[in-house]
């Protein structure tokens, strides 16, 4: 059979554009023993994919020019040569941007569709939720009464970080890029939320954190991070998760050097990738699912419809178009 697919047409210089994506029809082989034919239901678009569009060495291999882009996908089994995944099963896996694909059953995880919306396994109960869970609870380890700052707080990771911090009894401050997003963070229970596009960031953060900052979950880098470093308390902890403010830079940004501030406060700064915790993922999913079932976690999705809209949804990440998880509904 044939399927539509989206290839990486060229590597971007600076911010990606629609020119980086190429649509093509490709022939799919029939599934063989141990494989399944999948119909794509939901596709995840994520900021980390920007790094994979470049050829630079990173923690994961770059996408190849002329080959399909791949990422998190929720799909339905429509033909099966694997006993453990009968037709009709819903699965999640790292799959190409295609309407249909063939994959080994061993590379897929079954989605318990009765526990949450299946798209949540790309968000709250998937990679973003697990990133929040391990980054906050293992690296930052907030204690009751401490102050936690989350940048990119209205994104898929940030909104979960803030809610987890509230579950453990911390005071939570989030930054986001619009008044609507700020209002949403307050609905989620954030104690303070700041529109970084309109506020004087250092002054607003200092006012929101009069007792300093104990934990910082850094999703964006840049000016917000510079301001947080001025407020760090002794033995603060920083989980370095993302730097989306710099992903499209063509030259290394020049800014304040934070080393002396980290030294004087004995701050722990740890970068991490969620795959570092792969053996512990089942534990994280169980706990997140439990808290979701108890009503302690809410989650927002920005859903775009149509396979052909995947590139636009991805490009929208760098304009702040999404609140929560950016997802494309394909079928």
- In this structure, of 51-65, 128-142, 188-202, the range with the lowest mean pLDDT score is 51-65
Better-predicted residue by pLDDT, 247 or 142: 142
What integer is the mean pLDDT of 135-139? Answer: 98
Instruction: Please spell the DSSP secondary structure of 62-100, one letter per residue.
Output: PPPBTSB-EEEEEEEEEEES-TTS-TT-EEEEEEESBSE
Binned at pLDDT 50, 70 and 90, residue 254 comes out as low
CA distances from 104 to 71, 83, 119, 226 (A): 16, 12, 21, 45
d(CA 214, CA 21): 42
Q: What percent of the chain is modeled with pLDDT above 70?
A: 97
pLDDT value at residue 243: 80
Task: Examine the pLDDT at 257 and tell me if it is beyond 80.
Answer: no
pLDDT in tens, 31-56: 999 999 999 999 999 988 998 998 88
Better-predicted residue by pLDDT, 55 or 183: 183
C-beta separation of 22 from 9 below 8 A = yes
d(CA 228, CA 151): 10
What integer is the mean pLDDT of 297-315? Answer: 97
Intra-chain end-to-end CA distance of the chain, in Å: 17
pLDDT value at residue 143: 98
Binned at pLDDT 50, 70 and 90, residue 119 comes out as very high
What integer is the mean pLDDT of 155-167? Answer: 97
What integer is the mean pLDDT of 169-193? Answer: 97
pLDDT in tens, 78-116: 999 999 999 999 999 999 999 999 999 999 999 998 999
C-beta separation of 147 from 208 below 8 A = no
In this structure, the strands spanning 100-104 and 109-110 are: unpaired
CB atoms within 10 A of CB 255: 12
d(CA 153, CA 161): 8
pLDDT value at residue 321: 87
- Encoding tokens for residue 269? 């700064």
């Amino acid at each position: 059979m044939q399927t539509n697919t989206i290839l990486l047409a060229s590597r971007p210089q600076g911010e990606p554009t629609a020119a980086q994506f190429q649509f093509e029809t490709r022939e799919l082989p029939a599934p063989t023993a141990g494989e399944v034919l999948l119909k794509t239901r939901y596709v995840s678009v994520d900021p980390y994919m920007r790094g994979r569009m470049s050829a630079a060495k990173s923690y994961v291999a770059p996408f190849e020019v002329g080959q399909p882009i791949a990422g998190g996908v929720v799909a339905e089994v429509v033909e099966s040569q694997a006993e453990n995944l009968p037709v009709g099963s819903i699965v999640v896996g790292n799959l190409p941007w295609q309407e249909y694909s063939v994959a080994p059953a061993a590379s897929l995880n079954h989605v318990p569709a009765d526990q949450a919306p299946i798209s949540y396994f790309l968000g709250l109960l998937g990679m973003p939720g697990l990133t929040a869970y391990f980054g906050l609870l293992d690296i930052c380890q907030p204690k009751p009464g401490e102050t936690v700052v989350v940048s990119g707080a209205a994104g898929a990771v940030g909104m979960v970080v803030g809610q987890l911090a509230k579950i453990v009894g911390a005071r939570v401050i989030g930054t986001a890029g619009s008044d609507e997003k700020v209002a949403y963070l307050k609905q989620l229970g954030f104690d303070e939320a700041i529109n970084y596009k309109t506020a004087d960031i250092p002054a607003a953060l200092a006012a929101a954190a009069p007792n300093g900052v104990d934990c910082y979950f850094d999703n964006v880098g840049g000016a917000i991070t510079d301001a947080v470093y001025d407020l760090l308390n002794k033995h603060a902890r920083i989980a370095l998760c993302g730097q989306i403010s710099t992903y499209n830079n063509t030259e290394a940004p020049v800014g304040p050097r934070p080393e002396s501030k980290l030294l004087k406060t004995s701050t722990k700064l740890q970068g991490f990738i969620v795959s570092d915790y792969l053996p512990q993922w089942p534990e994280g999913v169980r706990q997140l699912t439990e808290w979701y079932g108890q009503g302690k976690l809410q989650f927002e999705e920005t859903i775009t419809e149509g396979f052909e809209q995947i590139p636009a949804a991805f490009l929208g990440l760098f304009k702040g178009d999404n609140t929560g998880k950016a997802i494309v509904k394909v079928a």
